[in-house]
Amino acid sequence: MDRSENIDRHGFRPNVCTVIQNDAGQVLWARRVGGRDAWQFPQGGIHAGESVKEAMYRELFEEVGLEPEAVQIVASTSGWLRYRLPRHMRRRGSHRDTSRRRDDGRSQSAPAAAVARPAEGSTVRFLGQKQKWFLLRLMAGDEAVRTDRTQKPEFDHWRWVSYWYPLSEVVAFKRDVYRRALTELAPMLRVMQPQQEAVLDEPAADGSCGRA
């Protein structure tokens, strides 16, 4: 497995994130292994030479066990959404700048640090992630969702929650990106599930939501 980091000239590595919706208008919310309260949407880095969509399908299988035919792509964000990692989460390492290559460079290792030296000798310091988000509809039953497809699972538990619920639960440094992505994708969820308007009640200003 290629563990190299690809960082663009601004210090962000490319990543995909998936919002998986069921027929009730709820979304899949997963807990990271070893993190009692570390819940998030499935996400992961993009391999060198891999398209954004290919990375999305690969991460979907590796993290929640879903094959491509088990989901339907409904929408995706129009561009990259970025967030910075806290300084204590940036481990130092050897990385390469991909700003002169395609934007879907590979990065699957854990958030890591970063100093990359492009050809011209300038320094690029790793700051965080840039993400492309996908809204997916689950076309299979709940039994298709599995977190044990790989030898080192990312998640140990998952559940269905209301659409805006993750805003009050996700780690603080990701909250703004979650808000922006969910806001952009929300109109497509309404089109898919007109009978579920209540699920999409706008969150409070602080991002809180009382329903799971």
Per-residue pLDDT reduced to its tens digit, 99-110: 333 333 333 333
- pTM confidence score: 0.76
The answer to whether 40 and 171 are in contact (CB under 8 A) is yes
Q: What is the pLDDT of residue 163?
A: 97
User: Of 126, 145, 125, 132, which Cα lies nearest the Cα of 53?
Assistant: 132
Burial pattern 91-101, b for ≥16 Cβ within 10 A else e, equals eeeebbbbeee
Question: pLDDT tens for residues 196-211?
Answer: 444 455 565 554 444 4
> Which domains does the chain show, CATH number per domain?
9-84+130-195 (3.90.79.10)
Residue 112 predicted with pLDDT over 50: no
Q: Which two tokens stand for residue 36?
A: 């009692």
pLDDT at 100: 37
